[in-house]
Structure 1
Amino acid sequence: MTDFIAALPTVATPVDCASFSKTVAPYFHQLSLSHLLPLLRGEIAPKEWYLATNPAITAILFALFISLVVFVSAEINRNFSQVDRLWSILPAVYTGHFALWSHLHGIESERVDTLAMLVALWSARLTFNYWRKGGYQIGAEDYRWEVLRERIPAGIVWTIFDLGFVALFQNLVLVGITMPAYVLMLTSRLPDATAGNDFIDTIFSRGLVIVLLIETLADQQQWAFQQAKKSYKETGKVPEKFLKEDLDRGFVVSGLWSFCRHPNFLCEQTIWFGIYQWACFRTDTMFNWSGLGAVAYWGIFQASTNFTESISAGKYPEYREYQALVNKFVPGLKALKGRDDEKPVKKE
């Protein structure tokens, strides 16, 4: 049987909790097959193995397993939206895992519990949006994948892209954005763990809830507009509270969407950077390794937004004007040139 060592590092200061070399690197050996074999052979009970494995490593192992499942499923079904279906669920699973692990070990986990509840609310909102758009229907696939497959050669090139980016990278990002929960869990083991809770923890938890509510409002405004546009196309009648010229334009420019072109994406990135900054404040650091997931998340959203906008510019004649007048993410900031001038993708 594998010689299991203590599943958590010894930390003496807040800065120790943010040290990758002290809190994660010593447990890399648990990613090996030799650590998994006792569990797979039934030589150790699942609960015992779970409690003896560093929680960050357990989350990474699960992400690697999901990556394999997603890749195989996509290659068999030729539907590459598998990660999209899991996008709203997995972060809640990971933060819930950190909270559960803390409770099973008897660790004071108020911060992690609060974060897990917040991410559960985020998950519920995103899952509901995906469901009402029909994303969970059998055979449903995001229209952007159709356009992307036209740009990337089929065969081995697409298979490598599917494995490397669609399955592996995105799943590692989803576990990466929840790693601040691991850091916050470690801070709960410090002697003065409760010091400052009333101020810092309250500010971050309440602030993130406010951002989540704003994101929910932005999503609802977009949904209401799209439903009104659909009704207008089917009946020729302009629904109440909407203008014909707005529906003819084809995309929403009112409400929060008049301040920036993607208020929901702005809030989405703010939430995960906010969670990372929470971990920074609790560890007295300006930067730490748990922000890698948030940075990668930001990169995915930048690329996805540019790609989506290139499609929108090809569909709607007035979208270029909207890009020139309203900033992509920052309310009140003049629209910037650059990627906005990318050649639009025509989409019927």
Structure 2
Amino acid sequence: MATIISLPVLKVAQDCADFSLTVRPYIPQLLELPNKIAAIASSTNGFEEFGTLYLNTNPLVFGFAISLLLAPIFLIVSEINKNYSQVDRMWSILPTLYIGHYTLWAHKNNLPTQRLDNVLAFAAIWTIRLTFNYWRKGGYSIGSEDYRWLIVKDKVGPVVMFLFNVTFIATIQSVLLWLITTPAYLLLLRSRQGVGAEKMDLGDIIFARVLMGLVLIEFFADQQQWDYQNAKKAYQKDARIPSDSKYTAEDLDRGFVVNGLWSWSRHPNFAAEQAIWVILYQWGCYATNTLFNWTFAGALSYLLLFQGSTWLTELITAKKYPEYKEYQRLVGRFLPKLLSPSTTDAVERKIDGAKATWEEKVGSKVDKKKQ
């Protein structure tokens, strides 16, 4: 196979996951990129020269450079609009663009792309699902903002919020959306290691199918949440259950969905979302014949982000709905409680019972005050 100056020559599969061989030698390219791009910008043949620069730059470094370039853009737009959801709007798009970048780079350099083509197909479906769900919730409408950022700002004040925006919201999150896709770089490196390495085997096929299955779980979980919230909104208008609704008055009075996938996990969509990037990481491990490698930084960071975000979401929800604490006790946050599996009916009965007890206690307190 032809030598490519922006990729290392690797002898065995494990070398593809070696940071010292596949990443460290190309860090200087990151420092050189700004000057090279500035020179191209002033050139009369800039488009062709940029194409040459793209193909001669390590794809991992180029992707990282894009994530760094986007960070100040997110920061400036968010500060001008005082809307901290700029990265949220790109959340469903950027990972697929990074994977598409690895795939395009490999195609243009005449490298085998069977694994990358499958990852890109999964990522495209993931983007369509996530983008559609975000759009129908009004996430792309002018002025829309994640309510959690508003709560954080109220708690910490404008100065601390600005620093938080500079470091975490605009910068770290932008880099994170690149970092979770880095296993695709390992798949690219593995695919150019000669006869047999360029094609998918049974294990690769299984990983690709699992990723598609997790997207399907996300779809059903989001749809169940959407159906419930629409039925609840209609019910709150005139206290009438919609004719096409499968929910009872008790379900809708409760305020949050507990049936279907939501009877097994309090956040089945979040569970599948985290599993997607862990599975992609595991695919990279499988392809490179390693138990652990540096790309775990992306999956781990994603898990930590969801832990913090979900904790804040549940804190707000528990204050809004008194029965939610009983739901937390009965159903696992992400994974089912296998030792005491919950069915939809069982969860509903126990939560409704807790609600009745809560209402009885509130009623007795009110009676005592009247006396």
**Structure 1 and Structure 2 fold alike (TM over 0.5):** yes
Q: 2:225 matched to which residue of 1?
A: 222
Residue aligning to 2:11: 12
Q: Secondary structure at the match of 2:247?
A: coil
Partner SS state of residue 158, structure 2 = coil
The within-5 A match list for 1:81-92 is 81-92=85-96
1:92 alignment partner, SS class: helix
1:119 pairs with 2:123? yes
Write out aligned runs for 1:141-160 (5 A): 141-155=145-159, 157-160=160-163
Superposition RMSD on alpha carbons, in Å? 1.5
Q: CA deviation at 1:207?
A: 1.3
State whether residues 325 and 334 of structure 1, in contact with CA within 8 Å, keep that contact through their aligned partners in structure 2: no
1:44-63 paired onto structure 2 within 5 Å: 45-63=49-67
Cα shift readout 1:21-62 (whole Å, capped 9, x = no counterpart)? 111111111111344433333376111111111111111111
Correspondence 1:66 to 2:70: yes
1:197-276 alignment runs, 5 A limit:
197-239=200-242, 240-276=245-281
The corresponding residue for 1:172 is 175
Whole-Å Cα distance in 2 between the matches of residues 145 and 227 of structure 1?
24
How much does 1:306 deviate?
A: 0.3
Identity in percent: 47
Query: Would the alpha carbon gap of residues 25 and 193 (structure 1) be closer, same or farther in structure 2, given more than 3 Å must change?
Result: farther
Q: CA deviation at 1:137?
A: 0.2
CA shift at 1:243, angstroms? 1.0
CA apart distance, 1:17: 0.5
1:105 corresponds to = 109
Q: 1:304-332 CA deviation, whole Å, 9 max, x = no partner?
A: 00000000001111001101111111113
1:78 equivalent among 67, 78, 82: 82
Q: Residues 327 and 334 of structure 1 are in contact (CA less than 8 Å); yes or no, is this contact kept in structure 2?
A: no
Specify which of 168, 181, 184 is matched with residue 184 of structure 2.
Answer: 181
Which residue of 2 is the match for residue 325 of structure 1?
330
Secondary structure of 1:219 counterpart: helix
User: Using a 3 Å threshold, how does the CA distance of structure 1 residues 301 and 307 change in structure 2: closer, same or farther?
Assistant: same
Q: Please say if residues 327 and 333 of structure 1, whose CA atoms lie closer than 8 Å, have aligned partners that are also in contact.
A: no
Q: Shift of residue 160 of structure 1?
A: 1.1
Q: Shift of residue 146 of structure 1?
A: 1.2
Q: 1:27 aligns to what? A: 26
2:346 alignment partner in structure 1? none
Cα pair 2:190 2:198 within 8 Å, conserved: no
Q: For residue 197 of structure 1, report the CA deviation from its aligned partner.
A: 2.4
CA distance in 1, matches of 2:67, 2:199: 33
- Structure 1: runs of 5 or more not aligned: 336-348
SS state at 1:65 partner = helix
Instruction: After TM superposition, give the deviation of residue 196 of structure 1 in Å.
Output: 7.5
Distance 2:217 2:285 in 1: 24
| Whole-angstrom distance in 2 between the partners of 1:306 and 1:21 | 37
Distance 2:259 2:40 in 1: 55
Distance 1:158 1:150 in 2: 9
Matched pairs, number: 330
Distance 2:297 2:226 in 1: 32
Q: Shift of residue 198 of structure 1? A: 3.0
Deviation, 1:228, is: 0.6
1:192 deviation in Å?
A: 3.5
1:128 is matched with 132
C-alpha distance 196-36 of structure 1, shift in aligned 2 (>3 A): closer
- Alpha-carbon distance in 2 for matches of 1:27, 1:195: 23
Separation in structure 1 between the aligned mates of residue 338 and residue 268 of structure 2, nearest angstrom: 13
TM-score by length of 2: 0.86
Stretch moving more, 283-292 or 5-14: 5-14
Q: Over alpha carbons, which structure has the higher Rg?
A: 2
Which is further off, 192-201 or 275-284? 192-201
Provide the secondary structure at the position in 1 that maps to 2:289: coil
1:141 CA drift (Å): 0.6
Q: CA deviation at 1:334?
A: 6.2
AA at the equivalent of 1:136: Y
Deviations along 1:157-205, one digit per CA (max 9) or x if unpaired, are 2211001000000011100000011110000011144478231111101
Deviations 1:188-232 (A, max 9, x none): 011144478231111101111111111110110011101111111
Matched residue, 1:40? 41
